[in-house]
Amino acid sequence: MVNLVIDGKKIEAETGTTILSAARDNGIVIPTLCHHESIEASGACRLCVVEIAKGGRKRIVTSCIYLVEDGIVVDTKSERVLGVRRLVLELLMARCPESEVVRNLAEELGVKTQKRFKPDKDKGKCILCRLCVKTCEDIVGVSAIGLSFRGKDKVVGPPFTEDSKACIGCGACAYVCPTGHIEMTTGNGGAERTIWGRTFKMAQCSVCGQYFAPEDQLQYISNKTGVPMENLTVCMNCRL
């Protein structure tokens, strides 16, 4: 166990936990956008930065990655921390003017739109948090989408922005996206699902007749687990 102080509160945390989770376990709120408890942290959004004092030296660290240490004093709302958070939100509002999630978070934290920044028109709601990419790679295991280009041109999508043959249409990327940037639509009375420009045929539940999963996804599960396809014909609701 490790003893530390966060915002004046004495806290005991397990060795190996991050400052972020130690804070949240103790009811201290640190805002995040690119963090998800099931996905390895990348530290991309920088909203979760905190200031730590250690051995007389103060510095800004990323709380979603930085592990708790004995004796450190953490300030989650110092002037420097708020300076970073304010700028990050101002920048994200300029990048994604249509994102309600970003706007609401900014409002919650008292950050106003920075009018000096010319709003982007081509970025949609994508803040490049890379949760979708990591989900597709680490959780689903298909790596159908990735990041291409660098800097301001960086973009999420299938390789060469062509229809991805690897995509199984599972929609996990759309599910995990914090801002709702990834579009997934249902068509033909539920018989089709379109995501990343590709349309998938949905399988029908053999019990209730509902469309419940893309056929490609069931095939992928069958291949991966060895469960025959004929055992994957019942939807979650009917299985319960």
One residue of 23, 88, 182, 195 binding another protein per CB under 8 A: 88
Residue 150 binds another protein, judged by CB under 8 A: yes
55 and 44 in contact (C-beta within 8 Å)? no
118 binds another protein (CB under 8 A): yes
CB 164 within 8 A of CB 196: yes
Q: Determine, following the binding rule CB under 8 A, whether residue 128 of this chain makes contact with another protein.
A: yes
Q: Does 91 bind another protein (CB under 8 A)?
A: yes
CA–CA distance, 32 with 130 (Å, rounded to integer)? 13
Listed residue (81, 76, 123) closest to 102, CA to CA: 123
Q: Output 67 or 184, the one with its CB closest to another protein.
A: 67
Regarding 109 and contact with another protein (CB under 8 A), the answer is no
Asked if residue 36 binds another protein (CB under 8 A), the reply is no
Comparison of 147 and 229: residue with beta carbon closer to another protein? 147
The answer to whether 221 and 213 have CB atoms below 8 angstroms apart is: no
Residue 188 CB, shortest distance to another protein, in Å, is: 37
Task: Give dist(CA 198, CA 145) in Å, integer.
Answer: 13
83 forms part of the interface with another protein (CB under 8 A): yes
Residue placing its CB nearer to another protein in the complex, 16 or 228: 16
Strand order in the sheet with 184-187: 184-187, 192-195, 198-204, 211-214
Please say which residue, 9 or 59, places its beta carbon nearer to another protein: 59
Written as one letter, the residue type at 217 is Q
